[in-house]
Structure 1
Amino acid sequence: MDPSHELKIKQALEGLFGAVAQLQQVYPGKPFTLDGRLVGDIGEVVASLAYQLTLNEGLTRHHDAVCDIGRNVQIKTTFGTTLTFPVHHVPDYYLGIRMNRDGTFEEVYNGPGHLIQAQLAGRRPTRTGLHGGLMAMLKRINATVPDSDRIPRR
């Protein structure tokens, strides 16, 4: 990742988490978690800086980016302990990352979506349209993905 971009992301995240801490002090009954669209957008930007991919413009259905060799990629991000996978479609490639507060991240899964779908085949569909609680499974499958089936790093 470009050091100047890395520093800017780190500083912005420090500001966000500082604001969350202030809100939690004033309203201790609320968690004020950074999730949803904001976390997804942060993850997509971090992934575009670390991997050989280009983000799609705006919101696009099923995939967030295209890697430099033409693979469509869905990017999922968490600051917590769970990542989701869609129930009703299988992304061509799936990149799941766990962000740290300092802007660094851990790659949880990087590979074809069909490998994840095969593991979820017995699960019942959910009302949310997302399978959750997948962190351990994604890490396990990720260890078996050949380098040729990964989105390359920059």
Structure 2
Amino acid sequence: MEAQGKLQAALDALFQSVAMLREAFPEKPFTPDGRLVGDIGEVVAQLHYRLTLNPGLTKHHDAVAEDGRLVQIKTTFSNHLTFPTKHVPEYYLGIKMFVDGSYEEIYNGPGQLIAAELSRRAKATQNGLHGNLMGQLRRLNSTVPTEQRIPLR
């Protein structure tokens, strides 16, 4: 199959998958742009953690835990998670997704712990996000007490 045909077949499969996701979770747009991974991560978080997603797009937080804590959810299929420079989310849930639908919890806890760690680190980036945090987030995650985590379902 020529390159153009392979591209078209891949795009057809992508948009068919997006349509299936929208049908299963109509509250999320699953737009095939930079939001797609985030929407997938938010749905995975809702399925596995005791939280409810905010309707539509909301600033700074994506969900509310059962006890009212506000949660920002960040997702990656690679080895890069970001943290905002201009605000500190009340709680931060960072997950790494795998192509089989499984995930790894990278960080689950108060955003302030991350902010305190980053304040001792390099300057804020121009894009408003701290990046390259996987190692730090994994290390910090091991220090978060159970009662400060968003519980699993």
Tell me the TM-score range normalised by the shorter chain. Answer: 0.7 to 0.9
- Write the letter of the residue equivalent to 1:46: V
8 Å contact 1:35–1:78 — kept in the other structure? no
How many residue pairs align between the two structures? 126
Question: In the aligned structure 2, how far is the partner of 1:129 from the partner of 1:72?
Answer: 20
Identify the residue that residue 43 of structure 1 maps to in structure 2.
41
Q: 1:35 offset after TM fit, Å? A: 6.8
Equivalent residue runs for 1:111-150 within 5 Å: 111-122=109-120, 123-150=122-149
3-state DSSP class of the match of 2:55? coil
Determine helix, strand or coil for the equivalent of 1:108.
strand
Residue type of the alignment partner of 1:143: S
Runs of 4+ in 1 over 3 A off after TM superposition: none
SS at match of 1:49: helix
Q: What one-letter code is carried by the residue in structure 1 that aligns with 2:144? A: V
Q: Quick one: which amino acid aligns to residue 128 of structure 2?
A: G
Corresponding residue SS for 1:151? coil
Between the aligned partners of 2:69 and 2:91, the Cα distance in structure 1 is 7
Letter of the 1:95 partner, please give it: L
Q: Give how far 1:36 is off.
A: 2.1
d(CA) in 2 for partners of 1:127, 1:99: 27
Q: TM-score, normalised by structure 1?
A: 0.78
Give the corresponding residue for 1:103: 101
**Which of the numbers 45, 64, 76 marks the counterpart of 1:78?**
76
SS at match of 1:61: coil
Offset at 1:125? 1.6
Q: Secondary structure at the match of 2:99?
A: coil
Aligned residues: percent identity?
64
Which residue of structure 2 aligns with residue 153 of structure 1? Answer: 152
Name the SS for the 2:96 alignment partner: strand
Segment drifting more, 138-147 vs 123-132 = 123-132
* CA–CA separation in structure 1 for the residues paired with 2:134 and 2:65: 23
Q: Is the 8 A contact 1:108 1:135 kept in 2?
A: yes
Note the residue ranges of structure 2 that are not aligned, 5 or more in a row.
1-8, 15-31
